[in-house]
Amino acid sequence: MDVKTEPLASEWGPFGRPLFDDPGVRALSRVGVVDVGSNSVRLVVFDGAARSPAYFYNEKIMCALGAGLSETGRLNPDGRKRALAALTRFQHLARGMGLPPLSVVATAAVRDAEDGPDFCAEVQRETGLTIWVIDGREEARLSAQGVLLGWPGAYGLICDIGGSSMELAEIQNGTVGNRVTSSLGPLKLRDVSGGRRGRKAHIKQVMAELKDQMGPQRDRLFLVGGSWRAIARIDMLRRGYPMRVLHEYRMSTQAVRDTIRFIEQGDMDQIRSEAGVSSARAALVPYALDVLARLVRTFKPKDIAISSYGIREGLLYEQMPQRLRDRDPLIEACRHAEQKDARMPGFGKTLFDFVEPLFKYGRHSQMRLVKAACLLHDVSWRAHPDYRAEVCFDNATRANLGGLKHSERVFLGLALLHRYRNKREGTSFERLYGLLSEPEQQQAAILGKAMRFGAMLMVQNDTPIGALHWQPRKRHLTVTLPAEAEPLFGEVAQARLNSLVQSLDATVKIKIAR
Q: What is the pLDDT of residue 48?
A: 58
Per DSSP, what are the bridge partners of residue 35? Answer: 42, 105
Q: Which amino acid is at 48?
A: G
**Pairing label, strands 54-62, 103-106:** unpaired
Three-class SS state of 174: coil
Count, residues in the chain: 514
Nearest one of 376, 375, 402, 405 to 388, comparing CA atoms: 376
Locate the DSSP E strands across 144-234: 156-161, 166-172, 175-182, 220-224
Strand arrangement, sheet containing 103-106: 54-62, 40-47, 30-36, 103-106, 131-133
The backbone torsions φ and ψ at residue 412, rounded to the nearest 5 degrees and listed phi first, read: -60, -40
The CA–CA distances, whole Å, from 74 to 69, 182, 311 equal: 5, 19, 24
Radius of gyration of the chain (CA): 25
Q: Give residue 90's pLDDT.
A: 97
Question: Is the CB of residue 325 less than 8 Å from the CB of residue 174?
Answer: yes
Residue 265, φ and ψ in degrees, nearest 5: -95, -5
Question: How many other CB atoms are there within 10 angstroms of residue 350's CB atom?
Answer: 19
CB of 319 within 8 A of CB of 28? Answer: yes
Domains (range + CATH), the chain: 23-133 (3.30.420.40), 137-313 (3.30.420.150), 327-513 (1.10.3210.10)
The tens-digit pLDDT sequence of the chain (514 residues) is 344 343 333 444 444 555 445 555 555 567 899 999 998 999 999 885 557 777 889 999 999 999 999 889 999 999 999 999 999 999 999 999 998 899 999 999 999 999 999 999 999 999 999 999 999 999 999 999 999 998 888 899 999 999 889 999 999 988 999 999 999 999 899 889 999 999 999 999 999 999 999 998 889 999 999 999 999 999 999 999 999 999 999 999 999 999 999 999 999 999 999 999 999 899 999 999 999 999 999 999 999 999 999 998 998 888 888 888 888 889 988 988 898 899 999 999 999 999 999 998 888 889 999 999 999 999 999 999 989 999 999 989 988 788 899 999 999 999 999 999 999 988 888 999 999 999 999 999 999 999 999 999 987 766 789 999 999 999 999 999 998 888 999 999 999 999 999 999 999 999 998 7
**pLDDT score at 27:** 52
pTM above 0.85, yes or no: yes
The whole-number pLDDT of residue 3 equals 40
* Environment class of 364 (CB within 10 Å of its CB; exposed 0-12, middle 13-18, buried 19+): middle
pLDDT value for 14 = 41
